[in-house]
Amino acid sequence: MNIVDLRSDTVTKPTPAMWAAMANAEVGDDVYGEDPTVNKLEAMAAERMGKEAALFVVSGTMGNLTALLTHCQRGDEAIIGDKSHTFLYEQGGMAALGGIMPHTLPNQMEGTLCLSDVRDAIRGDDDHYPRTRLICLENTSNTCNGIPLTPWYMERIADVAREHGLKIHVDGARIFNAAAALGVDVRDLVKNADSVTFCLSKGLCAPVGSVLCGTHKFISEARRARKVLGGGMRQAGVIAAAGVVALEQMTERLAEDHARAKRLADGLAEMPTVMVDPVFTNILYFSLAPQVTLTTAEVAARLREDGILIGPRSARTFRAVTHYWIDDEGIDRTLKALREIL
């Protein structure tokens, strides 16, 4: 039985083109800057983001922490959303390893930080306070239904940052999904950001890796931070080759994943036993209606028997994520199975 895995777009396996590219990758020692495939990937990533330089890292978590360590000194403060991935799901690395204080603000329903909240959170010049250095944003906003932040919002937050001499870092794990949903060039979403990470190993289907982009000076310092985090790799071109294919072949097809997420949402909305949140990209949250006596864990166990994997987020709520390996037949199977179970 073919498995329909909707738990995350991190479960994507390499495409045939990626396997071929990895098998034939030209490699060297990346710590010496001598891996030609890594160098090619970094140059491609920087160009796609409209930045001067880029750095290949093992994961989005490493990319975000590398950026924070580069922007901030110990005792500095970063303004960050209370629903952001960096705050919720990266083990407090900014504080534990960087000595950086998170100043959390509530994420709005559209994934943004309220501009007035950001202004109010910026510390004055007082010996009692940590120095505010950085504003951290996430695009798309995973826990806010995968909603994309717009170019308009990025312009407004940049105005606030410039007014107070702050830097902006964007956790752009799914930034290409944001660009596809908004119908804009990805550069338009990060032109006002001082740094941005994006994942190759989610919707872009590569098996490993993220890329951190910024100025030449920033990336030079970030390379030092990556090293101390254990991220200096040797013949990394073997995995970077899949990232090259991802940028060449996968970014323009993400709208297909969004359409399937919408199709799944529409099918679920027809069921009286389910309550469905809005869908903006490839992430869908839905909940069991009050009359359903099963828990999400019990529903997930029943679905697994049918070869369908889905992620409970609480006792009543699921998250489903579409990606390259979810086709129309997989959506139909999922809807059929849920109808039978519920």
Span 258-309, pLDDT tens digits: 999 999 999 999 999 999 999 999 999 999 999 999 999 999 999 999 999 9
Quick one: 240 and 264 in the same domain? no
pLDDT of residue 74: 97
Element (H, E) at 134: strand 132-138
Quick one: 332 and 244 in the same domain? no
Quick one: 293 and 223 in the same domain? no
Quick one: 65 and 155 in the same domain? yes
Quick one: 243 and 257 in the same domain? no
Q: What is the mean pLDDT of residues 234-262?
A: 98
Quick one: 277 and 321 in the same domain? yes
Straight-line distance from the first to the last Cα atom of the chain, in angstroms, rounded to the nearest whole number: 22
274: domain CATH number is 3.90.1150.10
Quick one: 57 and 110 in the same domain? yes
Range of the domain at 52: 15-249
Residue where one domain finishes, among candidates 249, 278, 308: 249
Quick one: 186 and 300 in the same domain? no
The alpha carbons of the chain give a radius of gyration, in whole angstroms, of: 20
pLDDT of residue 176: 98
pLDDT of residue 275: 97
CB-neighbour burial class of residue 315 (10 A; exposed 0-12, middle 13-18, buried 19+): exposed
Quick one: 188 and 312 in the same domain? no
Quick one: 91 and 192 in the same domain? yes
- With cut-offs at 50, 70 and 90, classify the pLDDT of residue 124: confident
- 104 to 94, 120, 135, 171: CA distances (angstroms): 13, 12, 10, 15
Q: How far apart are CA 117 and CA 141, in angstroms?
A: 18
Residue where one domain finishes, among candidates 249, 281, 301: 249
Whole-model pTM?
A: 0.96
Q: Count structural domains, the chain.
A: 2
Quick one: 68 and 50 in the same domain? yes
pLDDT of residue 336: 98
Residue 125, pLDDT above cutoff 90:
no
Judging by DSSP bridges, how do beta strands 195-199 and 167-171 pair with one another?
Answer: parallel
Q: How many CA atoms lie within 13 A of 295 on its CB side?
A: 7
Q: Helices then strands (H, E): number in the chain?
A: 14, 13
141: domain CATH number is 3.40.640.10
Residue 1, pLDDT above cutoff 80:
no
- 182 to 130, 148, 281, 304: CA distances (angstroms): 37, 8, 9, 34
Q: In what order do the strands lie in the sheet with 311-312?
A: 274-276, 283-288, 317-321, 311-312
Q: Is the peptide bond before 86 cis (omega within 30 degrees of 0)?
A: no
Residue 45, pLDDT above cutoff 80:
yes
9 DSSP assignment: G
Q: In terms of pLDDT, which residue wins out, 124 or 99? A: 99
Quick one: 244 and 330 in the same domain? no
210 - beta bridge partners?
Answer: 57, 199
pLDDT of residue 335: 98
Q: What is the mean pLDDT of residues 51-63?
A: 98
128 - beta bridge partners?
Answer: none
Residue where one domain finishes, among candidates 184, 214, 249: 249
**Mean pLDDT for the chain?**
97
Percent of the chain whose pLDDT exceeds 70: 100
Segment 168-226, tens digit of pLDDT: 999 999 999 999 999 999 999 999 999 999 999 999 999 999 999 999 999 999 999 99
